Amino acid sequence: MIEVQHLTKRYGPFTAVDDVSFRVQKGEILGFLGPNGAGKTTTMRVLTGYMPATDGTATVAGFDVFANPVEAKRRIGYLPETPPLYPDMTVREYLTFVAKLKLPKTVSKSERTERIDSAMRKTHVDDMANRHCSRLSKGYKQRVGLAQALLHDPEVLILDEPTAGLDPKQIIETRDLIRGLAGNHTIVLSTHILPEVSQTCNRVVIINKGRVVAVDTPDNLTRQLKGSATLYVQVDASGADAAAALATVPGVRGVSPFDRDDQDGHLGFEITAETDRDVRRDVARVIVDKGWGLLELRPLRMSLEDIFLQLTTDESAKAEETPDAPEASAAVDATNGEVPNA
Amino acid sequence: MRNVLTIAGKELRSYFTSPVGWVVMGFFALLFGYFFFAHLDFFVRRSMQSAMGGGPVNVNQDMIRGVFSNATIIILFLMPMITMRTYAEEKRSGTIELLLTSPVTDIEIVLGKFFGAVGFFVALMGVTMLDMSLVFIFGNPEVMPVLTAYLGLLLMGGAFISLGLFVSSTTKNQVVAGAATFVVLLLLWVISWVGSSFGPNTAAVLSYLSITEHFDDFSKGVIDTKHALYYLSVTAFGLFLTVKSVDTERWRG
Ligand SMILES: Nc1ncnc2c1ncn2[C@@H]1O[C@H](COP(=O)(O)OP(=O)(O)OP(=O)(O)O)[C@@H](O)[C@H]1O
Ligand SMILES: [Mg+2]
């Protein structure tokens, strides 16, 4: 439904999007993830035909957005980062204007009104129908922007941070709305809220500094990137040799201090083990043999946040360059959440 | 075509829902009314002198022409306020993103904005007709020169609007757009003044380029295609520049 190939966008000498390729199947929800300035908005603007790419192609619903922009745009609903509202129009006037622009000319006036009402109901802005757009709160502006995108029931929805500025109840409703739209619609959305991605999206594209660093399902990302199993263990050991003792356990690849509580001498460690080996029994045995107290022992799961940070921070970029890093450096530095690469 | 009308309607509407439109209309009515009555007063006194033995007077020649000539100056000053928002404001507020991602072409958007502004300009002309009707109620002027003068104003207005549209499309700042439009229009206005110092050929070219040189005949009641063509080609050129500029801005993002 959407196919992006080798897309590059430069602003003058600055490359905002660098050789990005991905495809989105019909009915799928694709999440666009990346830190500020990663190039999400730029990519979406190219997809919606707002600006041409410097290089590469983008096809939406079978139409090349550069060669056949009007046909492509007919099939796209777009919520820009800033909802494009005219301050001196009421919500209904605004949606009527958008409907006139976007609906096929064959649509009758009464059907147009019906579509407008339905879009307002879906986004819960019907109670504000006669309010001027300039008087709307930020969340309502966002919702009217969403109504505008849904109005002509487009095959493809491109939503730039659709839940930004909404209250928690609305966030849930909007996510439900988006999930409900999938199937009939193909959706690309960008967000900074990571749980949102795992809740709404079938697939994630993580982009950093204009480059795609990962494309996968949220589950696969979590699994793959874990690479090695990590454990958290907290011991009551007075001596400082706990780390060394733990490192001797077969299968353990690294031990690093996680936290410490000096008052009662509790030490927390993060242990990295070989992926397909359960070292928990051996770790427990060593601790008990030494006569220390075993206070806690649990596997550490990597959240999407960790993955995101790992993929998009500089430290991980270095790790990527040297994938065969020696084991010694594979120890986890828990302070910045870095986890060794698989 | 429907898209052009939709956008033109939205533009026209925005003049009447924003203070700028009303301010322009108010100033225009005020200034035009002032010049109108100044000319009227002058004309009445001259007619009295003429009745007491001066030369003959003609309301078309001695009054209405002067009023229209002054009207062009008011338009020169107010036109930047009409066109400055067109693109600049949409770019600043981000609504341009809606227009440029809707299934309409750049040309349709430019034409929509153009005709919206022309619509507002026609409304301004409507205001002047109120004053003008007084002359017809209390006097007996020829209709033809008045009609041709209005046609001339409309053609000139179209040329101004297309240039203003172009300037507005190059910036996000409406004040900059307004000021720059004023400078452009003023230069076109006075371009013939320096003509004589460049020799006859250059003088002829500069005089041809001057916006005012082409209006005179219209206010005399003469429709010369040469002049109409001048205004129409300036309009077309302005619109062409606007389309190009919108496209360039697209690339820049
Ligand atoms: N019109 C422009 N001219 C020059 N540089 C731009 C322009 N628009 C964006 N950029 C730059 O391109 C890069 C990508 O911007 P973009 O808006 O796509 O990021 P983003 O991923 O949407 O970020 P955010 O999460 O903050 O919305 C940024 O470094 C930004 O400064
Ligand atoms: Mg963005």
Query: Which ligand is nearest to the Cα of residue A45, counting in written order?
Result: 1
pLDDT beyond 90 at B26:
yes
Residues lining ligand 1, CB < 6 A? A 11, 14, 16, 34, 36-42, 81; B 253
CA distance from start to end of chain A: 32
State residue A252's pLDDT score: 83
- Residue intervals in chain A for CATH 3.30.70.3190: 228-299
For CA atoms A131, A134, A135, A140, the dihedral sign is positive
Record: contact A101-B105, CB cut-off 8 A: no
Q: Are A239 and A287 in contact (CB under 8 A)?
A: no
Weakest mean pLDDT among A3-7, A69-73, A101-105, A324-328: A324-328
CA distance from start to end of chain B: 27
Question: Which residue ranges make up each domain of chain B?
Answer: 2-252
Residue A240's pLDDT band (cuts 50, 70, 90): low
Query: Which ligand is nearest to the Cα of residue A39, counting in written order?
Result: 1
Distance (Å, rounded) from C-alpha B85 to C-alpha A4?
36
Closest partner CB to B101 (pick from A11, A73, A89): A73
Q: For a pLDDT cut of 90, what percent of chain A falls above it?
A: 45
- Whole-number Å distance, alpha carbon B116 to ligand 2 midpoint, is 32
ipTM: 0.89
Residues from A contacting B (CB-CB < 8 Å) are 9, 11, 42, 45, 48-52, 70-71, 73-74, 76, 78, 80-89, 97-98, 100-102, 105, 148
Chain B partners within 8 Å of A7 (Cβ): none
State residue A172's pLDDT score: 87
Q: Are B222 and B148 in contact (CB under 8 A)?
A: yes
Chain A partners within 8 Å of B14 (Cβ): 86, 88
A203 strand-pairing partners: A30
Distance (Å, rounded) from C-alpha B67 to C-alpha B39?
7
Reported as a single tens digit per residue, the pLDDT across B115-162 is: 999 999 999 999 898 888 888 888 778 888 889 999 999 999 999 999
Mean pLDDT of chain B: 89
Reported as a single tens digit per residue, the pLDDT across A281-323 is: 888 888 888 888 888 888 776 666 666 776 666 544 444 444 4
Q: pTM of this prediction?
A: 0.83
pLDDT beyond 50 at B253:
yes
The architecture in CATH of the region A228-299 reads: 2-Layer Sandwich (3.30)
Record: contact A50-B105, CB cut-off 8 A: no
Closest partner CB to B102 (pick from A42, A86, A102): A102
State residue A237's pLDDT score: 75
Distance (Å, rounded) from C-alpha A78 to C-alpha B43?
61
pLDDT beyond 70 at B59:
yes
Assign A19 to helix, strand or coil: strand
Residue A256's pLDDT band (cuts 50, 70, 90): confident
Q: Which fold has domain A2-223?
A: Rossmann fold (3.40.50)
- Whole-number Å distance, alpha carbon A41 to ligand 1 midpoint, is 7
- Whole-number Å distance, alpha carbon A252 to ligand 2 midpoint, is 42
State residue A304's pLDDT score: 63
Chain B partners within 8 Å of A101 (Cβ): 3, 6-7, 99, 102-104
